[in-house]
Amino acid sequence: MARALVEAGHEVSTLQRRASLVDGAQDHLGSVSDPEVVGLAMAGQDAVIHLAAKVSMAGDPAAFEQVNIEGTRTVLAAAQEAGVHRFVHISSPSVAHSGDSLVGVPAEPANPRTARGEYARTKAHGELLALAADSEAFPVLVLRPHLMWGPGDTQLTERIIERARQGRMPILGSGAALVDTLYVTNAVDAIVAALDAVSEVHGEPLVVTNGQPRPIGEIIERFALAGGAPKPKLRIPVKTALAAGTAVEKVWELGEHDDEPPLTHFLAEQMSTAHWFDQRRTREVLKWEPAVSIDEGMAALAAHYGG
């Protein structure tokens, strides 16, 4: 993200736990939970892209709240105090997902009460805080990128490939549920476009995808093959996966873990229900079209892994 902004001609400062290593970007190291370091990083800025979040399938609810709710509150307050006049908040479609299929829907309202899991619940709260801060003097636009993937992505792509290598990547049910995804460079382009759009259109959320729904079983298989792993053969009935996910969550809560649980109820829902979105409003507001198709992205992914 920082590299793309520098290349677009922006003067860029980052706030994150590790240095960006991007030539031309000024790095500030720390957490969005620390008001002092957030204030230092915000000084002199006229636009902010807030991407920081605690992303996990399990964990202490307080840890999610500290980053996704209180961290967002801290960033918003510091931005307003610093005189920032463009704010792009990165959220997630999970803030409006209650477990049922989402078929060709627009960006529906975030709802912490029905969001599934601590990540989605706290991201929903954070999004509502951001939208509540929106005004003509402080315009806020919310983007909800959906299932970002591509070379270098560790949250989704590499986890699927690694589990496929180990023979632990299942297909739930028929694998036919249609899902939207978003290639990583398309996500970056959309966020850069939002910086220009927020001055004119603000106070609303936009789901961002490639606009090419595919069966989730196909996506998983293509990730695995692109990464040099065998095609997943393990298939689990949906009801069995949902029950197993709930059981794994309860066991996971009893101990301390450095890795992600192999399955949760939320993950089983995501892998077995349709979730694809109407992109007309997103493209109208951002004046943006995805430059990389799914097929082109899969080819780039295979090249990244030496295929």
CB 252 within 8 A of CB 263: no
Q: Let me know if 183 is a catalytic residue.
A: no
DSSP characters for 213-226?
A: -EEHHHHHHHHHHH
Which of 87, 119, 223, 276 is flagged as catalytic?
Answer: 119
Sign of CA dihedral 18, 85, 45, 282: positive
CB atoms within 10 A of CB 53: 19
**Distance (Å, whole) CA 62 – CA 111:** 19
**258: alpha, beta or left, given left = phi > 0 and alpha = psi -120 to 50?**
alpha
Q: What contacts 295, CB < 8 A, 6 or more positions away?
A: none
What torsion, rounded to 10 degrees, do the Cα atoms 201, 207, 140, 50 define? -140
**Which residues does the annotation mark as catalytic?**
119
